[in-house]
Amino acid sequence: MSPIRKIVIFGATGNTGLATVAKAIEKGLEVTAFVRDPSKLSGDLKVSQVISGDVTNPSDVDKAIAGQDGVVIVLGTRNDLGPSTIMSDGTKNIIDSMKNHGVNRVSACLSSFLYWEPEKIPPTMRNVHGDHLKMLDYLKNSGLDWVVLCPPHIDNNPSDKQYVLKKEERVGAVISKFDLGDALVSVLLTNDWLNTKVGIGY
């Protein structure tokens, strides 16, 4: 039985974040949702607590991580593809707080662009990719038990297939947000994927 019972999900009201919250609750975990806007969290999701805050504010992050067993990072920029360090700055704050509170296990959602040759990444995605690279660097050097999921295009379709996970390898061209949410929680509950970038798809 996994020792992970209580988790906090950063980015809980994003497209993938909401699916991740739902899957974590289905698995019987006590979920803290860290959100910028609580009104975007569905009332159907029976989370243990909601913490409103800014991931770039260390004290907000600290309140969310205290007392947790694990962390899921599903940070995004929504439709803003311009230069930004919000995701990597937030990840650094999360890592620092995890160390302060003795929380060791973290999974994070980045992108399958991590497997692409840099010149082949679409120009519109290069700012986000650059911030993902910083996130990866922070996690790799954190000394924590980390897992990075690298999804391809994320769609809203319900899960109708068995998804596949592979270490250090791209898998397929698309993944349902529901399957991605399931995987982000599942890899947190096992030692099988620690300290690796994991491809997901069908």
The reported pLDDT for the residue numbered 1 is 60
| Three-class secondary structure of residue 159 per DSSP | coil
Q: Please say whether the beta carbons of 57 and 89 come within 8 A.
A: no
pTM given for the model: 0.96
Fold of 6-201: Rossmann fold (3.40.50)
Domain boundaries, the chain: 6-201
Residue 157 pLDDT grade (very low, low, confident, very high; cuts 50, 70, 90): very high
Residues 25 and 48: their CA atoms lie apart, in Å, by 9
CA distance 72 to 106: 6
- CA angle (156 as vertex; 152, 161 as ends), nearest 5: 70
Answer whether 50's CB lies under 8 Å from 38's CB: yes
Residue 167: strand, helix, or coil: strand
Would you state the structure tokens that stand for residue 111, as one six-digit string?
């992108």
Q: In which band, very low, low, confident or very high, does the pLDDT at 161 lie, cut at 50, 70 and 90?
A: confident
| Neighbouring-strand partners of residue 147 | 107, 196
Phi, psi of 140 (to 5 degrees): -65, -30
Token couple for 171: 């898998």
Read off the pLDDT of each residue in 93-102 and give the average, rounded to a whole number. Answer: 98
Q: Which amino acid is at 61?
A: V
- Around Cβ 37, how many Cβ atoms within 10 Å? 8
Find the mean pLDDT for residues 114-139.
Answer: 94
Among 97, 94, 99, 135, smallest CA distance to 114 is for 135
Q: 42 pLDDT exceeds 90? A: no
CB 105 within 8 A of CB 188: yes
- If you average pLDDT over residues 110-123, what whole number do you get? 93
Which whole-number Å values give the CA distances from 112 to 103, 118, 166, in the listed order? Answer: 27, 12, 12
3-state secondary structure of 13: coil
* CA-derived radius of gyration, the chain: 15
What token pair was written down for 151?
A: 């999804």
Q: Which two tokens stand for residue 50?
A: 């909601």
In the three-class reduction of DSSP (H, G, I as helix; E, B as strand; rest coil), residue 38 is classed as: helix
- Answer yes or no: is pLDDT of 103 > 70: yes
- 43-75 pLDDT, tens digit each: 789 999 999 999 999 999 999 999 999 999 999
**pLDDT at 191 exceeding the cut of 80:** yes
Of the ranges 21-25, 78-82, 83-87, 169-173, which one carries the lowest mean pLDDT score? 78-82
